[in-house]
Structures are given as C-alpha cells and as structure tokens.
Amino acid sequence: MERILQLRIVDIIPETEETFSFVLEEMDGNEIHYKAGQFLTLIFTINNREVRRSYSISSTPGVNEKLQISVKRVHNGEISRHLIDHYTIGDIVEALAPSGMFVLNAGSYKDKDVLLLAAGSGITPIISLIKELLYKRNANAVVLMYQNRSNHSTIFRKEIQKIADDFSTKFSWLDFRSSDQGNIFYKRLNNEKLALLIPRYVKHDPAKASFFICGPESFMRMCQYTITLMGFNSGQIKKEHFVIDKPPAPPLIVNPQPAKVSILQQHITFETMYPKTILQSALDQHIALPYSCKGGRCSTCAAKCVSGEVIMSMNDVLTEKDIEAGLILTCVGYAVTDIMLEYNTDAAGKVN
Ligand SMILES: Cc1cc2nc3c(=O)[nH]c(=O)nc-3n(C[C@H](O)[C@H](O)[C@H](O)COP(=O)(O)OP(=O)(O)OC[C@H]3O[C@@H](n4cnc5c(N)ncnc54)[C@H](O)[C@@H]3O)c2cc1C
Ligand code: FES
C-alpha cells in the first residue's frame, strides 16, 4: 500500500548554523510530484527499529528545479542530528510520497489577502507557499510575519529578501527578531500586535482572506486564538504542527464490536477492534498503511471513509470540509461499524 521512494541527496545547503537544506532526486530519475506546502516522511532503520520523521518541502514545484527539504537540528533529537551530522551528497534516503494538507486551494489568489505566520523552522512549508502564490497564482496581497531570535538564525533570509525585492508591491515581510531587532515593535509578535496588524494587511474582502500558521505550539496557539477572536472562521486558517504529542486516550465507544476494514481498489480486508486504532490494527497484521506521526496531526494516514462509521479521538489537521468529504485519520480513528476506506488522490492532492 505504501509507496516508498528512494531519494538521492544531490546537494546539502547550509541555511543557518543549525539548519541545512537537502536537495533530493528520485533514484530512477522520475519527477517527484508534490504540492507547495506538503511534506516528505523519511523512513530510517536504526538498530532494527523503524523510525519515521516528516520534513516539509521548502522548494516549490515549477519554481525550483529539484525538491528540497530543510532540517533544523533539534538538541538531543535522534533523526535531525543523524541527518545533519552523518548524511552526505550521494547518500540515499527512503521516504513516503509527499503528502499533507497545508496547501493552497485551487485557482487564483488575485485580490485575496494571504497572511503567513511562521516562527523558526516553521518557515519551511511557508516559503514554499509564498513562492507558489507569487510566481504561479497571481497573488498580489501576500504578507509574511516571521518570528526569529536573530538575523543569523533566520532561515532563508536571503531568499525571502529577494522575493521581497522582486514583488515589492505584492509581498510584505514583517521581520520579527527577539534579540537583535532595532525596532521594539518588531521584536516579538504577540496577540496585541497581531490584532493591530491584521486589519492593516487585510485590504480585500475579509471573508476571502486566508491564514497559514507554522511554528512552535505556543506561537501557533497565540495566532489561532487572535485570528479566531477577530471573527475569521476556522475554514480560513490552516496550521502545520511539527511537534507531535501523544494521541489522547481512545474515545468511549459504547458496546465495541470487532469491525471489518476493506480497502477499496487494493482488495485488502482486515479486522479491527476497539481500543486499537484502524492504523494499529493494520500494522499489527503486517498491512503497510501509510503513516508518520501517529498523533492525529500530520495527515499522512488520511483516507476517505466511503461507508461505515469512524470515530476519531482527535483531529488537528482535517478541516470541516475534509470531514464532510469523508476523510478520516486512521492513526486516531476507531471503526464503530464495518468500514470501507479509499486511499486515492483527494482534494489536497494526497496520493498513497
Ligand atoms: C508535518 C511535519 C513537518 C515537519 N517539517 C519539518 C521541517 O521542515 N523541518 C524540521 O526541522 N522539522 C520538521 N518537522 C519536525 C521533524 O519531523 C522532527 O520532529 C524533528 O526533526 C525532530 O526529530 P528528532 O528525531 O531529531 O528529535 P526527537 O528525537 O524526535 O525529539 C527529541 C526531543 O525534541 C522535541 N522536538 C521534536 N521536534 C521538535 C521541534 N521541531 N522543535 C523543538 N523540539 C522538538 C521532542 O518533543 C523531544 O522531546 C516536521 C514535523 C511534522 C509532523
Ligand atoms: S499519521 Fe499523522 S495524522 Fe495520522
């Protein structure tokens, strides 16, 4: 079920002291199809143990020739350090096909305000979206509010500056730096400043504005609360979580029964039973369904439920529209009845 890509590292670019971009190509020379804002899930085997980590794609299809991910060192982090310290040009990494729902809607973004709020390594999917908006989607009202500690720790500073120079009337960059910013207003983005800035930058129909948020949890929470309190609805806000908490305990299901899961087009059927998630039941039976975080936050495991009922213990990634379309997360999903799932190209372009 899972499509595993073999990717060769063709370049490694230092972005800051702690962040390195890895430029990748498929070993068989095929083009890697992805959407701006999506991520790759890398798969490693360390001491006979499989470890997966997702990395957002910082390149943009049709703008950058090759796919690129950008990895920030996490102190004591297992995989980020492993990648940065041990991988070199020519090495091969395995990955699931690109996936994720932190993507733009179809169509033009002309005369629609797009506000992108990033902090630290949260810039990786955001820069991909900015390039897509400006170079390919006719966007003329794009605003980046980007929080960093300092000039030196700002990932993609040169690239963002070039975009700001090339699109000076269409793109605004608000450069928040907590330790070396001269202007006190632009030191730390907080809820009060955001509430002041949003009306200044939403110049067109507010109902058509969109917000993309990626950064540490506290930053994302602050942005989401502020935007929501200002009257924008949840369908206008997309978030990408990098840090995954453990999923919550299974929801209470009255009278749980074993249930049959059928995967359309794959002729795969297996049994699941509460309190196991659909994904865990499959993995325990050696059925390789796609996943990454196992925490309801990345969407790698999303599938369309075409019949039957599924309860999710959490969902921090599917929008109301996705749920209406039948999408569920198998990693936090429990089958209440027999269900039929479809892994296919969905509205967000996810291909499994
Ligand atoms: C959808 C998605 C996209 C992502 N995109 C990127 C990306 O573009 N670039 C990137 O560098 N990372 C990205 N991440 C984070 C990445 O997957 C790893 O979590 C990160 O590299 C740490 O992994 P590790 O094995 O080094 O650390 P672990 O050994 O897993 O963790 C060590 C400790 O660090 C904490 N931790 C984990 N991740 C972070 C983090 N990002 N910041 C601070 N503390 C953390 C953990 O909670 C743990 O306490 C993304 C994650 C997701 C889910
Ligand atoms: S594997 Fe990440 S949401 Fe399910």
Domain of residue 188, CATH code = 3.40.50.80
Kindly indicate the confidence band of residue 349, based on its pLDDT and cuts at 50, 70 and 90. very low
Domain that residue 19 falls in: 4-99
How many domains in the chain?
3
List all residues 6 or more positions away from 286 whose beta carbon is below 8 Å from its beta carbon: none
What is the average pLDDT across 227-251? 90
Q: What is the CATH number of the domain that holds 292?
A: 3.10.20.30
| Secondary structure class of 302 (helix, strand, coil) | strand
pLDDT tens sequence across 70-106:
999 999 999 999 999 999 999 999 999 999 999 999 9
Residue whose tokens read 């962040």? 19
Q: Which residues contact 153 (CB under 8 A, 6 or more apart)?
A: 16, 17, 18, 120
208 and 149 assigned to the same domain: yes
Domain presence at residue 51: yes
| Same domain membership, residue 223 and residue 126 | yes
Note whether residue 250 is domain-resident. no
**Ligand 1 neighbours by CB, cut-off 6 Å:** 39, 53-56, 70-72, 74, 76-81, 121, 124, 240-244, 293, 298
Residue 209 predicted with pLDDT over 80? yes
Q: What number does the ligand 2 atom closest to the CA of 297 have? A: 3
Of 39, 101, 299, the one to substitute when testing ligand 2's pocket (max ligand atoms within 8 A of C-beta) is: 299
The residue out of 186, 211, 240 marking a domain boundary is: 240
What pLDDT was estimated at residue 347? 35
Output the residue whose Cα is nearest ligand 1's atom 48: 77
Tokens of 225: 């609360």
